[in-house]
Structure 1
């Protein structure tokens, strides 16, 4: 079950520097913090088990998940039941990039690859926050650009490199070193 802790907003805005991740204090502009806290209040935290679907191709995206640990895979179906992983989402990422760009359906399947902690925000409140905030969409579009670059390099390496190189890259990606 997903629950909202009482200190959700203050914890997200805290700058303790202990996680090694970019601080929300620097990400969220001071005049946007109220909107950010309102959005955070709509989120639900929880544990996502192996193979939990986050998105299904050609269906509306129901929620955005911000991973706090674990991994998710975005996979393209090549034919029938064959799948090819096109990108890994880790603690730095989220699903739902189509929503940021104004499209409400998933192009690919996305599911959990290892037990993960995540914050879930339903599509409605997420889209409202994108419309209400002057800084949220531009910030998240930078993530979409990163996501696009990561996907492009994955495709290039999968097409041109040996199995050993591909496995090494996947291992590094999974540990957050790449």
Structure 2
């Protein structure tokens, strides 16, 4: 397991952190691996370390729309902290890497006796609720270009690298738009010197410029997380 840690685990006191890590097992998140499906029993929770996961809502047989992203800052499986045993959304690995995994029964027992973990997860769930609301408003009111810039910044934050691989088809799927819209928006970002993009290989060239291009939702998400966690 790499030295890097999950932020929610880092926020715990030393004793609470050791208690949680004692029941964790290290796993590797594999690109495109489906982590859970709506309505299924929650078998494990995941605390990503350097991988990240897209959380996707599906409606009426449509491919779906990304409504959240979980990386080192968070956890997949927060419904267990609310006493809900089934998974509400589809989740798929977007960035491969390491994570900590805990079996659901072990996690529930630990949560019942670890007050620090309870407090941290309650705050994190509040942040998730805020981010879900922002995502809904962003989809309705913001243009593709600023939304794409936001998504790229969120991915870069969790990939911990200026470079990552993502296809236009996948971007269209995540943002809920036609592929031609992604082609135009990505082309504009490239012409402005903000990114370099070729055959699925993307590199962020100008992070401040990309932040200036992104919709206000990116800064709002960061602010909500910083204030509560």
If the length of structure 2 is used for normalisation, what is the TM-score?
0.63
Question: Which residue in the other structure is 1:79 paired with?
Answer: 60
Matched with 1:120 is: 101
1:157 to 116, 131, 138: 138
Of residues 42, 48, 58 in structure 2, which corresponds to 1:67? Answer: 48
Q: What stretches of structure 1 of length at least 5 have no aligned partner?
A: 12-17
CA distance in 1: counterparts of 2:78 and 2:68, whole angstroms: 13
Structure 2 unaligned spans of 5+: 158-210, 212-217, 219-229
Q: Computing the radius of gyration over CA atoms, which structure comes out larger, 1 or 2?
A: 2
Runs ≥4 residues deviating over 4 A: none
Equivalent residues in 2 for 1:158-177 (5 A)?
A: 158-176=139-157
As a proportion of its length, which structure holds more helix?
2
Pairwise CA RMSD: 2.4
Identify the residue that residue 13 of structure 2 maps to in structure 1.
29
> Are the aligned partners of 1:39 and 1:125 in contact in 2 as well (CA < 8 Å)?
no
1:4-19 matches, cutoff 5 A = none
Quick one: distance in 1 between partners of 2:31 and 2:86?
23
The secondary structure found in structure 1 opposite 2:105 is: helix
Q: Deviations over 1:95-154 (max 9, x none)?
A: 011111111111111110121210101101110011112221121110111111112111
Q: How far apart are residue 29 of structure 1 and its match?
A: 3.3
The answer to whether the 8 Å contact 1:66/1:118 transfers is yes
User: What TM-score do you get using the length of structure 1 for normalisation?
Assistant: 0.80
Q: Residue 64 of structure 2 aligns to a residue in which SS?
A: strand
